[in-house]
Amino acid sequence: MSNNQFKRGELYSVINGMASTAVARRLQKNFRQAGLEITIEQWSVLYHLWKEDCLSQQELCNRTFRDKPSITRLIDNLEKQKLVKRTASQTDRRINLVCLTDAAKELQSQTIDLANQTMNEALVGVTKDEIETVKQVFQRVYDNLT
């Protein structure tokens, strides 16, 4: 038995990611209470577009760790809500560039404030070093499996 193997009874918390689920739920709730009608999955797409606008769907797949059908439907829903718009690329007609609308740009600061607030609530009593360790382990696990 390897040195770092989880005991069976502890496996679940890792597989299920209960902590990140709890964060997501709380953030969703905070959005709703602020009258924002977006899901946190939609928000996570907008988040990457705020960093760099007009990405291809494939690029959004890479950055959000989602597969193509998931992104297709998230973009469908964001388009219905008039938060993004698909535009065919001039140079490669296979590619859709996904660009923010003005309405989406207005959401940025408000939702990022809510996200930061939520993280502050979540991380009460957690040290900087511990956060650093969690991030490193996450990255390592992700790299190990992909």
Q: How far is CA 35 from CA 28, 46, 83, 107, 122, in A?
A: 11, 17, 16, 11, 21
87 interface partner picked from a copy of itself, DNA, none, CB below 5 to 8 A per type: none
> x/- site string to DNA, residues 23 to 62, per CB under 7 A?
--x--xx---------x-xx-------------xxxx-x-
Question: Which residues, in sequence order, are bridge partners of residue 84?
Answer: 100
Task: Mention every residue, 6+ apart, whose C-beta is less than 8 A from residue 19.
Answer: 13, 122
State yes or no: residue 99 binds DNA (CB under 7 A). no
Considering only residues 41 through 100, tell me which ones interact with a copy of itself, judged by CB under 8 A.
Answer: 44, 47-48, 51, 64-65
Binding mask 9-28 for a copy of itself (x = CB under 8 A): xxxxxxxxxxxxxxxxxxx-
When CB distances are held under 5 to 8 angstroms depending on the partner's kind, the choice from DNA, a copy of itself, none that residue 58 binds is DNA
Q: Shortest gap between Cβ of 54 and DNA (angstroms)?
A: 11
Stretch near a copy of itself under the rule CB under 8 A, chosen from 53-61, 79-87, 88-96, 138-146: 138-146
Name beta bridge partners: 99: 85
**Length of the chain counted residue by residue:** 146
State how far the Cα of 129 lies from the Cα of 13, in Å rounded to an integer: 21
SS3 content of the chain, % helix, strand, coil (to 5): 65, 10, 25
Q: Does 21 bind DNA (CB under 7 A)?
A: yes
Closest approach of Cβ 3 to DNA, in Å?
A: 29
Contact mark string toward a copy of itself, 111..130, x via CB under 8 A: -x--xx--xxxxxxxxxx-x
Q: Which amino acid is at 91?
A: T
